[in-house]
Structure 1
Amino acid sequence: MASPVSAASAGAPAAPQGAVMQILFSVAFVHLLNDCVQAVLPSIYPLLKHEFALSFTQVGLITLTFQCTASLLQPWIGLYTDKRPIPFLLPAGMCVTLGGVALLASATSFAMLLLAAGMIGVGSSTFHPEASRVARLASGGRFGFAQSLFQVGGNAGSALGPLLAAVIIVGHGQGRIGWFTLLVLLAILVLVGVSRWYGAHLRNAAPKFAGHAGPALPRSRVVGALVVLALLVFSKYIYMSSLSTYYTFYLIEKFHLPVGSAQIYLFLFLAAVAAGTFAGGPIGDRIGRKRVIWFSILGAAPFTLALPYANLFWTGVLSVIIGLVMSSAFSAIVVFAQELVPGKVGMIAGIFFGLMFGISGIGAAAMGSIADVWGIERVYQAASFLPLLGILAALLPRTERPGR
């Protein structure tokens, strides 16, 4: 249990612990709904590619549009709300997502697909930094646990998205996407309650968003550490984007699987990502976030290097291992960065969620171009070396308290 000092420094509300856990589970649940809806987009790429006669490059551009709109706004929203919190920004942003999903279900051109993807991205850009802040405020000082619980909700949603798409949309047509507006409406209702708690917290407490700041470090060391973290996010999410965006195409082309079977493999990979994410934060609270970051990215390299040369069975096994290992880093990276820059919880969350989305989008577009020119299998050969950048984790400073 957090001490009174750590609870205060986390900005924890003066409410029973059960009420705090209710808020944590609420934002994690909405993260599940939000990312489930977002995961529908790459899950239906084969359908959209066929119906709109898209090239792989155009498929990558849809991902790029979503990821860039989801990334560019996040740091600015986080920076602004660090100074002027806006509790009801959470349901308001989800309303934009609602419009994007409705447009995706009725789009009749490639331009409309891009607009729908952009609207879903804007909704995401308002949700992630503010919801991450709420999770930290409700953490009671267990920052890694709270961030992991929040993040695992999103990863669980990303895993469920392809499965639901296979059941609801594949074989039934684009119009079935409209059923996912019901999930967005449910998310809006839950976020109204979260926003009321958040607003009451702001009125009744003097939140200190920074939490534990770790040992004081020179500015140059902090900047250098943030650059290293950004490079690690780069290596992690370009590789993860190559899997999440093109994995179904890879399985269909190399192993001649039907679309439904390929999406089941994608579900298994994304489910492993969810499990690994949940483990990363609490383990980082116990043994140190630097060790988790080191193991998560560099430790995945042997498996990513083997994946392009595996048969179907080992492709499934290796993708699950890669998902488990690589996914454990992100919660540790976010909390590590928040400890480096105290007082900027929203901005740091926005930057790193923004980096995640932006790098994923750029990576998806680049990998799409590689696939168009050299084939989808070359995508995984080219990306397999990226986790070797995990060796840069050796350059990160220690931020844990002495004797932790």
Structure 2
Amino acid sequence: MNRIPTLAAGHAAVDFYQGAVPALVPFLVAQRGYGYVAASGIVLAATLSSSIVQPLFGVLTDRWRMPWLIPVSTVLAGAGVAAGGLSGSYALTWLAVALSGLGVAAYHPESARLARIASAGGHVRMSWFSLGGTLGFACAPVLVTPLLAVGGLEASPFLVVPAVAGALATLPAVRALTGGTRAAKAAPVARGRDDWAAFARLTLVIVFRSVVYVGLSAFVALLMGGGAAGAVALFVLFAGGAVGTVLGGRLAARYGRVRTMRMAYVLAVPAVAGVVLVPGPAAYVFVAASSIALYTPFSLHVTLGQDMLPNRVGTAGGVTLGLAVSVGGLASPLVGAVAEASSLRTALACLIVFPVLAWLLARTIKEPEPLPAAEPA
């Protein structure tokens, strides 16, 4: 039985809380009087705890199989955000949001391993698993904002509902894929040589991609004029990501992962340039094209990393899904500084160089031998 839809639903439930934190911030500012520094600190708590800690969970899941982390971490991610809306103390709010990020970090390495088993090595199925996370992140503002607009921060306990639903939904798939407690606790068997040099290059490719996408998501609404025009730009950006995630799996099945990755970054260069240089409504077309191009290799990064580190699948998932993806957020303040010193359009023009760098580095990466579809018990 195909377990990918169930795992994708769980992935959506967890990544929902990555998008929920930015949606929570305006209400913290309005009801508690947080300034920009305090508000950015809340977002930083979620980002740092979910990205930096994630490879550590990858190392742990490489040594011990911990499928119980999947439902537990899902609930933890939801409980942290729900508690963050209730706590009146800034310190407690910061800790609650950091706890949510910890849940997100704990979820991804083990879930990526199980998704690889469930997908039987298929790129299309793996792209559907990645799509779940993309949709969860994109749906968060749509659900969180109306709820808190009506009920205020006092309604934040309801935000734990997606986490509980996601945890319950994934339990049957987790039990089926782990084959029972004995198999779940078994240590992995060595299966080839880990190519750390290739994995390091792939990690840099993901970082370059992250800088571009995070920069666009942070400032494209302002570039388009804010208000309704900015909201449409963000919707187009998120929707394009969903399309690109599925498209990447299908193209990889036909042309190969590395070739698809290279083509995507080549197309991202004129697409990002169009966002910056083309005025008026036509810019929306380039926003969509940029998002599709940047998300086409998203799920392929995960499987490439796992194949490059066949004995460190959890570590590969932790880096490709967590650390390298989130590092781009650290570059956003630099983009903002350039915008203040010159203009927003000039600052975003600097992003054009990063898909070029990603393409050049991707040319040095070769297609690794794929891992077996399932791990030996």
On whether the aligned pair clears a TM of 0.5, the verdict is yes
Give the secondary-structure state (helix, strand or coil) at the position aligned to 2:310.
Answer: coil
Q: Residue in 2 aligned with 1:244? A: 217
CA distance in 2, matches of 1:200, 1:399: 28
Contact kept in structure 2, 1:141 and 1:211, CA below 8 Å: no
Aligned partner of 1:179 among 141, 158, 162 = 158
Are 1:70 and 2:38 counterparts? Answer: no
CA distance in 1, matches of 2:85, 2:170: 24
Q: Deviations over 1:303-357 (max 9, x none)?
A: 1122123334223221111111110112112211222221221111112122234
Are 1:224 and 2:197 counterparts? Answer: yes
Aligned partner of 2:118 among 138, 152, 167 = 138
Are 1:263 and 2:242 counterparts? Answer: no
- After TM superposition, give the deviation of residue 110 of structure 1 in Å: 4.5
Query: How large is the Cα RMSD of the aligned pairs?
Result: 3.0
Are 1:29 and 2:9 counterparts? Answer: yes
Q: Residue in 2 aligned with 1:347? A: 315
Q: Relative to structure 1, is the Cα distance of residues 365 and 325 closer, same or farther in structure 2, using a 3 angstrom cutoff?
A: same
Q: Deviations over 1:112-139 (max 9, x none)?
A: 4432331221011111111111111112
Q: In the alignment, residue 351 of structure 1 is paired with which amino acid?
A: V
Q: Residue in 2 aligned with 1:9? A: none
Aligned partner of 2:241 among 268, 273, 277 = 273
- After TM superposition, give the deviation of residue 211 of structure 1 in Å: 11
- After TM superposition, give the deviation of residue 60 of structure 1 in Å: 4.3
CA distance in 1, matches of 2:94, 2:350: 27
Give the secondary-structure state (helix, strand or coil) at the position aligned to 2:216.
Answer: helix
Q: Relative to structure 1, is the Cα distance of residues 123 and 272 closer, same or farther in structure 2, using a 3 angstrom cutoff?
A: same
Are 1:159 and 2:138 counterparts? Answer: yes
CA distance in 2, matches of 1:276, 1:377: 25
Contact kept in structure 2, 1:64 and 1:358, CA below 8 Å: no
Contact kept in structure 1, 2:17 and 2:78, CA below 8 Å: no
Q: In the alignment, residue 53 of structure 2 is paired with which amino acid?
A: L
Contact kept in structure 2, 1:62 and 1:114, CA below 8 Å: yes
Q: Residue in 2 aligned with 1:393? A: 362
Q: Deviations over 1:169-201 (max 9, x none)?
A: 347633444332111111121233333224435
CA distance in 2, matches of 1:312, 1:162: 26
CA distance in 2, matches of 1:138, 1:386: 33
Give the secondary-structure state (helix, strand or coil) at the position aligned to 1:324.
Answer: helix
Q: In the alignment, residue 88 of structure 1 is paired with which amino acid?
A: W
- After TM superposition, give the deviation of residue 300 of structure 1 in Å: 0.4
Q: In the alignment, residue 35 of structure 2 is paired with which amino acid?
A: L
Q: Relative to structure 1, is the Cα distance of residues 237 and 70 closer, same or farther in structure 2, using a 3 angstrom cutoff?
A: same
**Larger displacement relative to structure 2 (337-346 or 230-239):** 337-346
- After TM superposition, give the deviation of residue 148 of structure 1 in Å: 1.0
Q: In the alignment, residue 117 of structure 2 is paired with which amino acid?
A: L
Are 1:359 and 2:340 counterparts? Answer: no
Give the secondary-structure state (helix, strand or coil) at the position aligned to 1:236.
Answer: helix
- After TM superposition, give the deviation of residue 256 of structure 1 in Å: 4.3
Aligned-pair identity in percent equals 24
Question: Structure 2 regions of 5+ residues with no counterpart?
Answer: 371-377
Structure-2-length-normalised TM-score: 0.86
CA distance in 1, matches of 2:191, 2:301: 15
Q: Relative to structure 1, is the Cα distance of residues 365 and 119 closer, same or farther in structure 2, using a 3 angstrom cutoff?
A: farther
Contact kept in structure 1, 2:64 and 2:187, CA below 8 Å: no
Aligned partner of 1:382 among 328, 341, 350 = 350
Aligned partner of 1:288 among 252, 256, 266 = 256
Contact kept in structure 2, 1:155 and 1:271, CA below 8 Å: no
Are 1:304 and 2:272 counterparts? Answer: yes
CA distance in 1, matches of 2:39, 2:185: 47
Q: Deviations over 1:62-115 (max 9, x none)?
A: 333222211222222122222210121112212321221112322445544432
Q: Relative to structure 1, is the Cα distance of residues 211 and 364 closer, same or farther in structure 2, using a 3 angstrom cutoff?
A: farther
Are 1:115 and 2:92 counterparts? Answer: no
- After TM superposition, give the deviation of residue 47 of structure 1 in Å: 4.3
Q: In the alignment, residue 308 of structure 2 is paired with which amino acid?
A: L
CA distance in 1, matches of 2:283, 2:44: 26
Q: In the alignment, residue 183 of structure 1 is paired with which amino acid?
A: P
Are 1:89 and 2:58 counterparts? Answer: no
Are 1:38 and 2:6 counterparts? Answer: no
Structure-1-length-normalised TM-score: 0.81
CA distance in 1, matches of 2:92, 2:349: 33
Q: Residue in 2 aligned with 1:169? A: 148
Question: Structure 1 regions of 5+ residues with no counterpart?
Answer: 1-17
CA distance in 1, matches of 2:305, 2:24: 35
CA distance in 1, matches of 2:80, 2:128: 26
